[in-house]
Amino acid sequence: MPGAKDHRVWVTQRLIREAFTGLLKQKPIQSISIKELCEVAGINRGTFYAHYRDIYDLREKIESDMYQDVLGELKPLLDSDAKATQREITTAVFQWMRENRDMCEVVLGEYGDRSFLWKMLDLGRMVCQESYQRMFEGASPRDISWFYAYASWGCIGLLRRWLWEDMETPASEVAGIAEQLIGQGMQFLTEKQKGRKP
């Protein structure tokens, strides 16, 4: 009965993740013990060690899963034949953030892993710069880099605001706001492109 076993593993890992993110909202990772985490998750230490080497391995695996998920959501931006619209991609990313709210709160919180936040921003930079370079052929890599800094930190501000309001606004509406603000910011690249045309 592999399906039942897979479900039990998923439930156990979910309990561990929820306990971990709950504790990370209260204290830094180095102050979280396996014993405390297991008590909060309602599991024994043997169960924890069946899945993870230590608390840092747990964080690394959660972050790796998040990275792969976000990369999957952004991949259509790299595919020039993709059928998904910019709005659909942006909505999917914000919907993913809603589904992974616990980790978004932790990453942006007081005890978040700043290196992971930079890694996620680098992922976005890689994907978006390639996409923007196709859209604005006359804009220099430097112009696109400036624009990405503006757009990415603006989206982090939107995410913080959305978390603050308990994510009451639908993901599609937040995506629309982000797209509208980014679209207005794209005038910067449009002007740069015009300025470079002979």
Most confident listed range (54-68, 109-123, 179-193): 54-68
The set of residues, in sequence order, having a beta carbon less than 8 Å from that of 105 and lying 6+ positions away, is: 21, 25, 163
Higher-confidence position of 127 and 80: 127
Q: Please give the pLDDT value at position 1.
A: 43
Residue 195 pLDDT > 90? no
Q: pTM of the full predicted structure?
A: 0.77
Degrees to nearest 5, angle at CA 183 with 180 and 184: 90
**What fold does the segment set 59-196 form as a domain?**
Tetracycline Repressor; domain 2 (1.10.357)
Residue 152 pLDDT > 60? yes
Question: Rounded to an integer, what distance in angstroms lies between the CA atom of residue 103 and that of residue 46?
Answer: 25
Query: Domain limits of the chain?
Result: 1-52, 59-196
Instruction: Give the pLDDT band (50/70/90) at residue 51.
Output: very high
The mean pLDDT value of the chain amounts to 87
**What fold does the segment set 1-52 form as a domain?**
Arc Repressor Mutant, subunit A (1.10.10)
